[in-house]
Amino acid sequence: MTSQYITTTDGTRIAIDLYLPTDSTCASPRACILTQTRYFRSISLRWPWRLLANQGRPFSFLHTRYYEGMLGAGYAVVAMDIRGTGASFGTVLHPWHVLERQDSVDVIDWITRQPWSNGRVGLWGMSYEATAAYLTVSTHHPAIKACVPMYMFYDMYNDIASPATFTGSIEYFTLGDNTWRVATSWPPSHTTRRDFFLSMNDRALVTDVRAIQPGSCTWNVECQRDLGGVSRWQATIDVYEPMQYHGWHAANHVVFTSLPFDHSVTIVGTPILTLWLASAAAPHSGDVFVYVTLVTQDSDVVYVTEGQCRAAHAPQDGAGGSMSRQSSPTYLLDPVPHNPDPDVPRHSFYERDRRPIPTCTKVMFGLLPIAFQAPRKARLQVRICGHDAKHFTQVDPSRTMELTADATTCVSSLSLPILETPPL
């Protein structure tokens, strides 16, 4: 890989990286793939860290894997910083300015004059780069033979700027059956909440509160293990890997499992979890992390959603119920801003709002919203643990946690928004 500047027709110096295959069998002129980026065209680490990556040479932070595939297929690769970004000179006037388009034409002209070029250029990129590639196609440069834009804006005016195209409907994707649906409100008006109660002694999820077995279950937080894989929190960082957890059985979670569904069930909205929780490290303690999963007929564990809460942010009155609106901060009972679902609890997370928790505290919080269709015969699971060291620091570490349930007031439950008549 070599780096250099190309001077455009208006005198602006554009920084590029040139990658050529090293295979001696590829000595003949070749086609070139061009990408126009404002995201990390090339990174050069400081000493001594540069020795740990790419043999001390600069490298692409985002696209190395793609470039390796292109070079392996015999293509040359040119990556350019658009004007005003990275090492390029000039000014960014606004995204995808017409001058950027002219810069790409100048770079293509430079490519076609090189001895290693056969005069054929393909355009490629993701996100901003993809739209830049698409706009370069509009120049009708004769050297352009292909364009592969990934995750682009198709029409900037109609997609973003023109309110005439707003329909007012909410379009969402449903995992499980992999379909798009449309609703006029969120959550959709056809959803009703269905409660699954946590039965302590048999670790079951039941829909009839009279069927729960009272009691308690205690677990040692230190004996629980973090899940492996790419988490939901890493989804926008590890862009090359699917979001996928593994290590469910080794995590030593406290697991409650339902009977198999007798028909498919579509969950659309924000699940809400209510736990009656005790901790051994009072008064400010009790981190709880919850995963909702499905168990398929093949006994595979499928991730649905997750959530977490610190018990000290869920104050309760001495009688075991929620504080009244007059005596409690508004963050406990008011709906979440920008969340139109009034059932979802709200917590402020301010230090001043932390409260000492009694021996048994009602902890109620919303999980991450989801649209998911559970197939027939799948079993629903609630998995509970006391830490997630991979993503969260324990402020008040507790060695043991306890869930408590009786047959009347202290009943833990998972409330799911179920789509009764799913419109397509």
Dump pLDDT digits (tens) for 69-87: 899 999 999 999 999 998 8
Residue extent(s) of CATH 2.60.120.260 domains in the chain: 191-419
Q: How far is CA 414 from its chain centroid?
A: 23
Q: How far apart are CA 306 and CA 262, in angstroms?
A: 24
Instruction: Out of 81-85, 180-184, 313-317, 379-383, pick the least confident.
Output: 313-317
Residue limits of CATH 3.40.50.1820 in the chain: 2-161
Instruction: Report which secondary-structure segment, H or E, holds 273.
Output: strand 272-279
What is the topology classification, in CATH, of domain 191-419?
Jelly Rolls (2.60.120)
Contacts of 215 (CB under 8 A, 6+ apart): 200, 201, 404, 405
More confident: 342 or 142: 142
- Distance CA(153)–CA(147), nearest Å, equals 14
Q: Is the dihedral of CA 147, 150, 155, 156 positive or negative?
A: negative
pTM, whole model, 2 decimals? 0.62
Reply yes or no on whether the pLDDT at 339 is more than 80: no
**Lowest-pLDDT range, 219-223, 229-233, 243-247?**
219-223
Cα 119 to Cα 85: distance, rounded to the nearest angstrom: 27
Taking a C-beta distance cutoff of 8 angstroms, is the pair 346, 334 a contact? yes
- Cα dihedral: 408, 413, 419, 421 (round 10): -30
Instruction: Name the class of domain 2-161.
Output: alpha beta
Q: What is the pLDDT of residue 415?
A: 96
Per-residue pLDDT at 285: 61
According to the model, what pLDDT value does residue 158 have? 67
Q: By C-alpha distance, which of 63, 57, 107 is closest to 82?
A: 107
pLDDT band at 280 (very low <50, low <70, confident <90, very high): low
Is the distance from CB of 260 to CB of 377 less than 8 angstroms?
A: yes
